[in-house]
Structures are given as structure tokens and as C-alpha cells.
Chain A
């Protein structure tokens, strides 16, 4: 039995790209338990349906921030939300980013596309307590400069290294073009004392994790966020099964030591 969605009101919305929007929510009544970076909520667009969406921000007074790309019926409905609208929220669900594991380590945060959204609260948590960690590196890959999320915020993060690369440069783009792994040469980290947090398309996750293993980062210190078809979010329906893992419950954040062999199996 799952809990019913709790009403949350849209405080404001902000377009990120042509098809992606960020909105902030506040409880319209009872608040859900606190979310941790890397966890997700089931957002219910009334009359349309429910979809899993990672938290992109954890706000005061039980508020939440989400970034949604319009790709299906539910996400298109969420994309159309306006300030004052009400959505249903269930959660928090799933494993979050294991920040205590990274205590004292250099940190590599590697994001591809909208994968930056679930990593954003992690970066904010580290920036709020930098003394607990080594050097924080943020590496971002996007399709084009126009597809970059949180552009202004990225520029404002005071980090030892913050790199952005795009697949296709537009006119006047002065930055890098290429895969996000190409940024690793500029990042500042000692592989044996590094924890990596990766989120993005699975092909990008695999390419990044392999490169990090090659450089000497331990597989159990490579944490990846996986996406599957999450329905119930409570580990009952099995839609999000990946081998022995039910990703809504055992994930979405999984150590690469557990996930590596599962990501190369053609049928599970």
C-alpha cells in the first residue's frame, strides 16, 4: 500500500531551456519527510498521471525544487505548471548520494544533460560544508550551449574546477566541445582518494566510469544514478528492476562495483 500524494503548491517556475523548466514547490498542507540529495519524488499532475522526478533543490520549510524536461504526457503537464498550481507529491524515495562515504575525499561530480539536476543539491551540500571534503570538481556535458541547465548558477560556484563541454557548439561558444570525459584532464583530484558522483545517459555514465577506473578511482567510490521505468516507487511492481536491483528502492544511486556488470547485459 502506498501513501497517497500530498498537495504541494507551485511557488514559481523558471524556463531552463526550450524544453526544460525548473519549479519550486511548497507544501499546501502537510509536509513530506525531508528529502536527501539524490532521492526522487513521484510528482502527480492531476488528471494526467504520475512520474518520478529527482529533487534538484531542497528548500527551507520542506520546499522542493524540481527540473523537468517535457518528454512524455506527465512531464509535459508538469512543464506547463504555473505559479499557484497544485501537484501531488509522494516521497522521498530511493537511495541518495552517499556523501559520508566521500568525507575527506576529492569529489568529482560528473553530469550529462538533465543529469545535472539530481547532482545540484549534492554540490550545494558540499559548498555549505566544504571543510569536510577535498577538492570539489564539477564537470558538465550538454548537447549545446542552449541546453545547459542552471547556467548562471554554474558560473557562480567557487570551485577548484568547474568545466562545461557541449556536443555541438553554436556561434560564439568559447568553451569546450567534446565528451564530458575530456574534462577529466583539467579536473583536480587524486584518484585513490576520490569519490565520483555521475548522472546522465547510461552510455555517458559507462564511458565516465570506465575512464575513472582506468585512472585509479575505486569502483565502490564511483556512485551512479540510474533511471528505469519507476511506477510504484516502493519496490513492489518490479517495473524498474535491473537484475537483482529494484532501482526505485535499491537505487537510483548505486555503486559502480554493484552496477558495472548489470549495465552491459543486453537483456535483464
Chain B
């Protein structure tokens, strides 16, 4: 980026500064022996053009909306349109959650995001014995199309977009969403949204799994293939690093394992015979925004650049939309503390700012009380207002990629790319991400990093305010949301009622067709859609998957 003579001058100048720096330190030594990010990446005292002397501006930094998209996926970024403020919400019954959605939309939220309760996430109905004690606790209970109809009652599905955090049963929830849209008179070609549908990161980190990795990926490719023609505005996978980070990975690991998962899906879809440009523009990503500000900004910038290169060079995608890494961000739940919970508002604001300066397309900001319980309406409002303040008061949206060109941020972006590529190459050598997961490789790398970080906290090498420093005697009381005690009973009764009143012969016939598709090579999606329209339940369809494909057991490594 600079000519050689200039670099020599700057190097000389830097040496002069370093002398002074060392003399100052002779009097007062540095505060830390070693300065490092929250992921323990070492950071130097000062960055200058010398650090990015080998970078080519056009080839590596460039312009927003232009390859390799380091500075953002759109030419205009937030000057054209701010990011989508998408708050994840779901609790109790479909009716409770529907009321929260109406409230959030009335407060200026622009997209919906559904949190499902554990039994739905794992493919069980509320009336299953394994669901006992879990109904409606961490999200909304969806057993049949009936619950889905209530969830979106009065919400026009041609006007809002919806993100559904759902993995093993993702195809089923997408089918239910299509069915609700059709009942509203909305064509499935017009609906927009996202299903998470990212099973690889489930085996690596989040651990809501059902069938083994290979059949899981087959179902995902079925949804990709189906959506190309039938639901063209749907984001078929949200390739997620969020949970990898929450499980204790470093920023580099989050970046590397997420992109390795993405490569795994593209490989599987291409193997099916799909043209890469027919599906790649509908792949989206989901990253964490952790507390180490610059490391996060660099992570998002590196992610865009690596993905653009992988898609163009490795998979030979021709359509520029296939090169784009579009992503949602959520601030880091694991950075929040139960101690002095109001500090969480501040943490979340810094994390959200990193996501914005990193060029996110949508954002969820955590509520201050999420570490204690489901968030109350008041705390959700503060979290939403945090985004609105960033967007409309701080002025950070005025210039595109304002940190681009910072010697430090560009160096860190390069370092992120180099270290993530080293992991990706290693995974390729192991035979790809599925083989690596079967060997337990990413799982073990994350467990090691999580343990190392905990040791750093315990030894006070890393600070968490209110936890290992600046502690206070306090009575932690925040008004949290309480669920009605008869919720479980009511949900079970409602689901049993639906199962009694539907045409059970037709349900059985539909499930038989799903089974045949699973055993053969037919796409399962159209058969699942037929089944949910007859009010076949989530678990009934998942039981077919489990029967045909088997059940994955956690190897329990630590």
C-alpha cells in the first residue's frame, strides 16, 4: 500500500519512537506482561503502515459492495438502509409469544425472530414424557400447525420477515410457516425469512442434535434444493458461529469452524448436482459479538473476505451474490454476568457497536436480565433502544467501514484470515468438516479454549467486572418474567385435542410418504408440507427421521 522508500522512513521513525517508549517504560513498567485479546491473541503496542506493507488496497481492502467485500456487502451500507433490528423472542404458549411480537412490531422492530422451547428444538411434542418440566421454558412450544397459526395470528407474512432458530426439525417448521402463509393467502414465493438449519454447528457446539451428521446434512440439502424453486426469498441456512463462541471458542475458532461448516454445506449441495449459483446467494451467516471490540470488527471483515475468496476461487461461483457473506449478529450471552446485572446494558452496547462497525445486516441485542431468566418487556425495550441510539444518535453510520484503513484493524483482519485459513486447511486435510466432527476435532479445540479462558479468569489474568474484580455485596434482584404455572398442562391438553380431532388416517398416509422419501432419494420437503397441513405433529415427523436415520449420541468428550 506504500512504496518501499516510504516504508523505510516509517520503519526508522518507528524505531525512534520505540526508544522513547522503552525509556518511559524503564520508569513505569507496562501494566501487563503481555497484552492480549479476550481470545488470548497477542496485541502489539503500536501499529503503523509497516504492518500492512504487503497488503494490496484493491485486492484486500477495496470498496464496499466490491470483491472481496472486506468493507461491506453493499455499496451504500447504512447510508442506504440501517441493519434489521431483530430481537429474538419466544416463551410460554404461542399466544403469549404472539402478544410479544405485536408489541415489538409496534415499538419499531422490523423483523421477527422465534425462540422455540427445548422439546421443539429437539423434535419432541409437549405431551412426550421427555418434555416434562421443559414446556415453554426457554421459548415457545410448537407441536402442530395449530400452534403456528396462533403464533403468527394477525401478522402479515408478506410484510414481515421471520427468522426461526431451529435445527434438527428445521424443514418441518419451514413447512408449517409456508402452510400458515398459504392460509393467509400469501404465496410461498413471496415469503421471506431464515431457518437456522445448521446442524454441523450443533454437533460442534450447541448440541441440539437428533440424527447423525450425514443424514442431517442430507435433509438440509433437501431444503436448499426445494427452496431454489419454491421459496426463492428464503435464507435456507444461517451458518452459525454464535454457539461455537458461546461454547467457549476463540474468535479465530468461531470464524474458522463457521466457514468450514459453510464449505461443508456447499460441497454437499454441489455433490447433489445443484449449481452453486442457484443456492449460494441464499446462504446466510450468524456471528457472535463478544466484548473485545477490535477483535470482533476484524473478525467480521475477515469473514467476508475469506468467504468471497472461497466461493469465487474454490467453488467457481460466477454470480457476485454467491460471494457475499451476509450475516446476523447477536451480542454475547456468555459475556453477561449475573452479578451487578445493570452492567450488562453497557457490555451489550459496546458489543452491538462492534457488530455495526463490522457491517452486520441484522442484530439482536441481549437484555440485561437474560443471564438470570427470560427477559422482561422493560429490559427487551432497553436492548432495542440501544440499537436505535447507535443507529440514530451516535453518527457511526455516517461513513462506511469507518475503521477500514486503521493500521491496527487491517493488521488484525489479516491475522484473523491467516489463522482461520490454517484451521480450514487442517480440516480439509482431515477429509472435510464432517470427518473432523466425527473425530471430535473442533469440539476438543473449543473445550480446550474454554478451559484456558476459565483459568485466566480464576487467576485474574483476565478481568470480568463484578465477577473477579470490583465485586460488591448485593442482593441480585431484577424483575424477571414469570411463566404461568399451568402452562405445561394447557399446552399438553391443546396438543392432544388437535391429535384427536384431525383425520388420523390421512396423517398416517402422509407420514408413510415422508418415511419413503427418507429411505429413498426423493426430496422430503413436499411430503413434510403435506403432513403438517394434515396437522401431523413435529414429533411424529421427527420420529420418522429417527426411525430411518438413527439417533446421534453425544460422545461426551471433555
Q: Do A and B come from one complex?
A: no
**Chain A residues proximal to chain B, CB less than 8 Å:** none
